[in-house]
Amino acid sequence: MDTEEESLKGQVEIWEHMSAYVDSMALKCAVELGIPDIINSHGRPVTIPEIISSLPTTTSSPDMIDYLTRIMRLLVRKRIFASKFDQESNKTHYDLTPSSKWLLKESRSNLSPFVLFVLDPWLLKPFHTMAKCVKEGGLPFEKAHGVEIWDFASANPQFNRLFNDAMRCATEIIINPMLVEYKDGFNGIESLVDVGGGTGTMIAEIVKANPHIRGINFDLPHVLATAPEQPGVEHVGGNMFVDIPEADAVIMKWILHDWGDEDCVKILSNCRKAIAKKKNGKVIIVDSLLRPDGDGSFDKTVSAFDLVMMAHTSGGKERTETEWKMLLNSSGFPRYNIIQIRAFPSIIEAFPAPSP
């Protein structure tokens, strides 16, 4: 039987979980208002009136100071911002923290587009259908919007832009630790195809760091329609479920977690065909490793993203090492290496079975 103290702790935890969405919405509000950039532009801690005077608004409301003070108070408690009360001026000054520095738009390490993406009403709506899907089956995103996410993106340029911006910012954050901690992994590769490469950010950075590589950015035509030209990179439109351009190696970032096992086997099988003529061909998978009981830096977030995949995709999920091994074996990749990097995802090198 629970003690009175244990019971109270349980109640506290439910209240905290119940109100956790408020933290996310306050964070989104700060990003939408550009508060990290406003503080950074002053080069010093600033007051609420100074933040308000920097907002791109032509209206003034007596509620503005009250609203923003309360929002900032919560975000200070969550260590997104820091605050210090100055007794001489009787004012509170707000400053950046290591967390809010990841939200600066001028920085390449900028998570703001991803914040705006995952907290957009389009992507929150499917979560409200989860209980119904558990009882009745079906896909949360499709129940919420009438179509699967990829069809929604194809028909909705605004959503497609939101998605591409989020993927680009994630790539820019992942690419530096990958190029440093996996730099030897690109040795001996003359041609590399980035499957589902979006607007080409990742393959362009890889080619820039490894000029000996000919880069191929492979994605759906509507995605490539907004892709800029990149030195050493060729944009090729197509469907990874049909075929993939031939290359020495294939790289995929956050692609397989979007799909169920059956679809992943199709994609990986096409990857295997794409490198079949190469003696030392391999597939480089940049994706998360799910550790349900792990206490690593990103383990909680990976567990949360497993439900994000459930809500947004057609059978997508984060996978444990055992699940990755089964998936790779089923696709003709009996050998693999896992390389941990200082980023959200890991790198999984997959090697095909030798030809008979």
For 197-256, write each residue's pLDDT tens digit. 999 999 999 999 999 999 999 999 988 988 999 999 999 999 999 999 999 999 999 999
Q: 353: which DSSP letter?
A: P
Q: Which residues, 6+ apart, have CB-to-CB distance to 119 below 8 Å?
A: 24, 25, 27, 28
Q: Which residues, 6+ apart, have CB-to-CB distance to 184 below 8 Å?
A: none
> What are the φ and ψ backbone dihedral angles of 26, each rounded to 5 degrees?
-65, -40
Task: Catalytic residue, from 145, 235, 257, 312: name it.
Answer: 257
- What SS3 string covers 237-250? ECCCCCCCCCCCEE
What are the pLDDT digits (tens) for 318-342? 999 999 999 999 999 999 999 999 9
Q: Where are the alpha helices (DSSP H) in 235-314?
A: 261-274, 299-312
- Cα–Cα distance, 209 to 206 (Å, whole number): 5
Tokens of 345: 């995802």
Q: Where are the alpha helices (DSSP H) in 275-298?
A: none
Task: Using the structure block, give the residue that is written with the tokens 């998360």.
Answer: 288
Half-sphere exposure of 106 toward its Cβ, with a 13 Å CA cutoff?
A: 7
- Cα–Cα distance, 27 to 34 (Å, whole number): 11
Specify whether 257 is catalytic.
yes
Cβ contact 11:66 at 8 Å:
no
The model's pTM is 0.89
pLDDT one digit per residue (tens) for the chain, 356 residues:
789 999 999 999 999 999 999 999 999 999 999 999 999 999 999 999 999 999 987 677 778 999 999 999 999 999 999 999 998 889 999 999 999 999 999 888 899 999 999 999 999 999 999 999 999 999 999 999 999 999 999 899 999 999 989 998 988 899 999 999 999 999 999 999 999 999 999 999 999 999 999 999 999 998 898 899 999 999 999 999 999 999 999 999 999 999 999 999 999 999 999 999 888 899 999 999 999 999 989 999 999 999 999 999 989 999 999 999 999 999 999 999 999 999 999 999 999 987 65
* 3-state secondary structure (DSSP) of residue 319: strand
